[in-house]
Amino acid sequence: MTKNSLDVALRPEDDKESPADYAGGDRSTSLPGDLVSVSHGFERVEPRRGLLAVHPQRWKLWCERKVVIAYVLTVDIAAVALAAGMIAAIPVHSGDLFRFGLLAAGAVVHREVVRQIESLREQATNNGLRTNLISLWIFAAVLSVPLPLVFAVTVVVYLHSWYRGSSGRLYRTLFSGATMVLAPTAAVAVLQLLQPTGYPIIPQGAPGLVVLIGAGTVYWLVNYILVVGAVRMSDPLQPVRQVLANPSDQVVVAASLGLGIALAVMLTFQPWLIAVLMITVSALHRALLLPHFQQAARTDSKTGLLTAGFWREAAGRELERARRLADPLGVLMLDLDHFKSFNDRMGHLVGDQLLRAVADELRSETRPYDLVGRFGGEEFVILLPGVGTAQVEHIADRIRERVSRLRVLVDSPHDRPVTVDGISVSIGAAVRPNDGDEIDQLLLAADGALMAAKAAGRDRVRLATR
């Protein structure tokens, strides 16, 4: 579901809908006493596909565990009740309607201008939280119009985003909109410390600045907690760093709140300057998009390892360096044993959890400057600068041993986490210059050694030189 300052990104693998597709991989917590141990699998859960999001009874939300459903519905109901109470209690004046019209029109135009950019960002960011600039318009509304019209801006923004975006995720849009009812209300409560007599609210002096910063902080914090709570509750096995998002992204959130303040000032004194702000915002969106594309080009979305293309590019640079210095260089090809049958029994989403766990082990067993990548499916590759024949087998066997001891807590279709063990990996190793002096030669040699390891019974290491 698209968030305001934060975005819970869908894992869109071939855009298949599944019970675990909510909030970036949807599962919930279970009591520690509910753990079950299995070896390589449990029955597969068939996902519900092709359901129309406009029919509540068919939402994939109902495939979630009860705690996730309860959380989402609690936030939605609280937002509706709060909005109804505020609409009944707070009057709206004609001057407020003019500013509301400008905000709503500006928000729609802005979303149209950056719609293709946001679509590309969604494709580039497959999971975790994603920042955007919707806060610009909603926080500007907090300062410019009464709460009923703030809620109206929120409705316009999110319905437009849903209608012009991913039409199959209406319940996510509703949850996002609900957070954007609760967060602005909390911010307005802080602004009331200024005892405003009307709108717009433009704080004056140092005390006003403190209150304004406090309102922005509360606005961000409420939204952040609600979103992170949904992600963490629905997927407790997701790495914390993915749940919390990149800390540098919060600079974008702060920028959007700052732009919202500037917009509120423009609405008060020079409304025509909004056109200039729109140009600035569009440029900022493009600048925000670039690092996402760069990250997507380098990083495999499921495991966080290097993609095959970027691994090959970086490996080529390391190989050139090894040639200049006459250093050895090792290459490992790894393949999870029996992963296809494992995937068939447990389902692809649970299989992805296993891939992430193995990827974490590979990172832990390699040096910071080693290159660890995913070559697709269940196959991984590691480049080891400075490692020759005498060391490469020891390193490969150490990795094999570590994977064999791995116990992975995954989700099951029965509301209980399941511990998977009995995992094994076959590894083929090649070394420069004995097995080749080009990346393709080393990969071919390592792949041949990998096939020999599998033919010998799997769960073992083979060297290309033997």
Residues 314 and 280 in one domain: no
Q: What is the pLDDT of residue 238?
A: 59
Alpha-carbon distance 294 to 271, whole Å?
Answer: 37
Task: Determine the average pLDDT of the residues in 351-375.
Answer: 88
Alpha-carbon distance 216 to 210, whole Å?
Answer: 10
Task: Check pLDDT > 80 for residue 21.
Answer: no
Domain that residue 370 falls in: 308-463
Cβ atoms 51, 60 nearer than 8 A: yes
Residues 157 and 80 in one domain: yes
Residues 147 and 252 in one domain: yes
Task: Label residue 239 by pLDDT band (50, 70, 90).
Answer: low
Considering the domain boundaries, does residue 43 fall inside one?
no
Helix (H, G, I), strand (E, B) or coil at 253: helix
Q: What is the pLDDT of residue 132?
A: 66
Cβ atoms 381, 428 nearer than 8 A: no
Task: Determine the average pLDDT of the residues in 169-180.
Answer: 84
Alpha-carbon distance 327 to 321, whole Å?
Answer: 8
Q: What is the pLDDT of residue 413?
A: 56
Residues 266 and 340 in one domain: no
Q: Token pair of 159, please?
A: 């319905």
Task: Label residue 338 by pLDDT band (50, 70, 90).
Answer: confident
State pLDDT tens for residues 194-218.
777 778 888 888 888 899 999 999 9
The domain tally of the chain equals 2
User: Which of the pair, 340 or 393, is modelled with greater confidence?
Assistant: 393
Task: Determine the average pLDDT of the residues in 331-345.
Answer: 85
Task: Label residue 267 by pLDDT band (50, 70, 90).
Answer: confident
State pLDDT tens for residues 57-91.
667 777 777 888 889 899 999 999 999 999 999 99
Q: What is the pLDDT of residue 77?
A: 95
Residues 427 and 354 in one domain: yes
Instruction: Sort residue 178 into left (φ over 0), alpha (ψ -120 to 50) or beta.
Output: alpha
Average pLDDT over the chain, rounded to whole?
77
Highest mean pLDDT among 79-88, 132-141, 287-296: 79-88
Helix (H, G, I), strand (E, B) or coil at 121: helix
Residues 447 and 361 in one domain: yes
State pLDDT tens for residues 83-122.
999 999 999 988 899 999 989 988 888 888 777 666 655 5
Q: Output the domain CATH number for residue 416.
A: 3.30.70.270
User: Which of the pair, 152 or 302, is modelled with greater confidence?
Assistant: 152
pTM above threshold 0.85: no
Largest CA distance in the chain: 85
DSSP characters over 367-395? -TTSEEEEEETTEEEEEEET--HHHHHHH
Task: Label residue 166 by pLDDT band (50, 70, 90).
Answer: very low
Kindly give the interhelix angle for 205-234 and 170-191, rounded to the nearest 10 degrees. 150
Considering the domain boundaries, does residue 394 fall inside one?
yes
Alpha-carbon distance 211 to 219, whole Å?
Answer: 12
Residues 292 and 321 in one domain: no
Task: Check pLDDT > 60 for residue 37.
Answer: no
State pLDDT tens for residues 421-464.
888 899 999 999 999 989 999 999 999 999 999 999 999 999 98
Range in 283-292, 304-313, 422-431 the model is least confident about: 283-292
Angle 436-437-438 from CA coordinates, rounded to 5°: 100
User: Which of the pair, 11 or 148, is modelled with greater confidence?
Assistant: 148
Q: Token pair of 42, please?
A: 């449990």
Considering the domain boundaries, does residue 36 fall inside one?
no
DSSP characters over 284-333? HHHHHHHHHHHHHHHB-TTTSSB-HHHHHHHHHHHHHHHHHHT--EEEEE
Which among 298, 317, 348 is the end of a domain?
Answer: 298
Residues 253 and 320 in one domain: no
User: Which of the pair, 86 or 235, is modelled with greater confidence?
Assistant: 86
Residues 264 and 332 in one domain: no
Cβ atoms 19, 26 nearer than 8 A: yes
Task: Determine the average pLDDT of the residues in 396-402.
Answer: 92
Name the residue among 389, 384, 360 with its Cα closest to residue 370. Answer: 384
User: Which of the pair, 198 or 2, is modelled with greater confidence?
Assistant: 198
Instruction: Sort residue 33 into left (φ over 0), alpha (ψ -120 to 50) or beta.
Output: alpha
Residues 316 and 270 in one domain: no
Considering the domain boundaries, does residue 391 fall inside one?
yes
Task: Check pLDDT > 60 for residue 275.
Answer: yes
Q: Token pair of 448, please?
A: 């041949």
Task: Label residue 9 by pLDDT band (50, 70, 90).
Answer: very low
Considering the domain boundaries, does residue 119 fall inside one?
yes
Helical (H) or strand (E) element with 354:
helix 348-364
User: Which of the pair, 145 or 135, is modelled with greater confidence?
Assistant: 145
Which among 298, 320, 335 is the end of a domain?
Answer: 298
Q: Terminal CA-to-CA distance of the chain, rounded, Å?
A: 53
Query: What amino acid occupies position 18?
Result: S
Query: What amino acid occupies position 267?
Result: L
Cβ atoms 133, 280 nearer than 8 A: no
Considering the domain boundaries, does residue 333 fall inside one?
yes
Which among 252, 269, 298 is the end of a domain?
Answer: 298
Q: What is the pLDDT of residue 236?
A: 67
Q: What is the CA radius of gyration of the chain?
A: 26
Task: Check pLDDT > 60 for residue 7.
Answer: no
Name the residue among 429, 424, 432 with its Cα closest to residue 461. Answer: 429
Q: In Å, how far are 60, 69, 143 from 171, measured between CA atoms?
A: 9, 11, 28
Task: Determine the average pLDDT of the residues in 43-65.
Answer: 54
Percent of the chain whose predicted confidence (pLDDT) is above 70: 74
> 457 Cβ partners below 8 Å, 6+ apart?
none
Residues in the chain: 466
Q: What is the pLDDT of residue 262?
A: 85
Residues 328 and 259 in one domain: no
Considering the domain boundaries, does residue 303 fall inside one?
no
Considering the domain boundaries, does residue 284 fall inside one?
yes
Range in 169-173, 280-284, 441-445 the model is least confident about: 280-284
Residues 379 and 251 in one domain: no
Q: What is the pLDDT of residue 371?
A: 92
Q: What is the pLDDT of residue 206?
A: 86
Task: Check pLDDT > 70 for residue 1.
Answer: no
